[in-house]
A = this chain, B = another copy of it.
Amino acid sequence: MKILNLLPIINATFWTEDMSEYLSKYLQQDTVLDTWCLDFGPGSIEGEFDEALAASSVVLKCIAAEKAGYDAIFVNCFAEPGVRAAREIVSIPVFGGFEPVVHYALGVGDKIGIVTVLPEVVPMISGMITRTGLSHRFTRLRYVSVPVLDLGDDKKVLVNALVSESEKAIVDDGADTIVLGCTGMNDLRENVERALLDMGYKVPVMEAGQAAVVMLETFVRMGLYHSRATYMKPRDKIRTWWGGEEKKNI
């Protein structure tokens, strides 16, 4: 099985070998994970402007990925740019970072507390929660005020901030499950969970990237697919895109 890890950003250098290894941790032996990034788009996704810039590029990459023989696509971002759009045009499973971790978290407890990066992504994530119709299962959104591209700067400070916001989510908001609300902080999951445990909170801390690729693997294995009653195949008509020198039909 071949899963594409599609970064909806232009920073190829952002993604390291370690990150791939981390992401593949729970995949089966024969599952291959490749990583692509965008040719055009934002350096990171920190709001709906960035998301809009990424969406069309993501969709076009998904078309390419299906042609290249991938079995499933992970759009590696909690904001899920282009994910629903891609499901209309390709026939393989496509997930972003939000849905899979949430769908697993629903089985872990009653109330999910998301801790994310910046205040400016809060309305975007809040809108995603509302759109899913699952609002009753979430507590208020919390954030650590660290931009995505600075997440690697000082891991200790970041873990402390995540733990502190997680504790507020548990004690003040009644969360019983913590979800890290940015796929860029995946490798801190265990540290945060352990710190909370040391403080007496036996509360699972869940990470979006691993959840997504395992969910995709399950979808492929079980032959699940996104419903065509909702994700209907787009009609043929003129659609143009930049193709190097000239307009190109998609």
Contacts and interface: CB of A to CB of B under 8 A. Distances in A.
A214 interface: yes
Interface string A164-184: 000000100011110000000
A227 B123 CA distance: 11
Contacts of A147: 235
Number of chain A interface residues as a range = 35 or more
Contacts of A11: 238
A71 interface: no
A28 B49 CA distance: 32
A213 to B, nearest CB: 11
A201 B229 contact: yes
Contacts of A126: 110
A108 B176 contact: no
Contact of A130 (B40, B133, B238): B133
A215 interface: yes
Interface in A33-63: 40-44, 46-59
Contacts of A44: 237
Interface in A84-114: 84-86, 88-89, 95, 99-100, 103-104, 106-111
Interface in A110-132: 110-111, 119-120, 123, 126-127, 130-132
A225 interface: yes
A177 B232 contact: no
Given A202-B228, A214-B218, A224-B108, A247 B43 contact: no
Interface of A: 10-11, 26, 28, 40-44, 46-59, 82, 84-86, 88-89, 95, 99-100, 103-104, 106-111, 119-120, 123, 126-127, 130-137, 140, 147, 149, 170, 174-177, 201-204, 206, 210-211, 214-215, 218-219, 221-222, 224-232, 234-235, 237-242, 247, 250
7 contacts: A48-B84, A56-B56, A110-B227, A130-B136, A134-B134, A214-B222, A218-B218
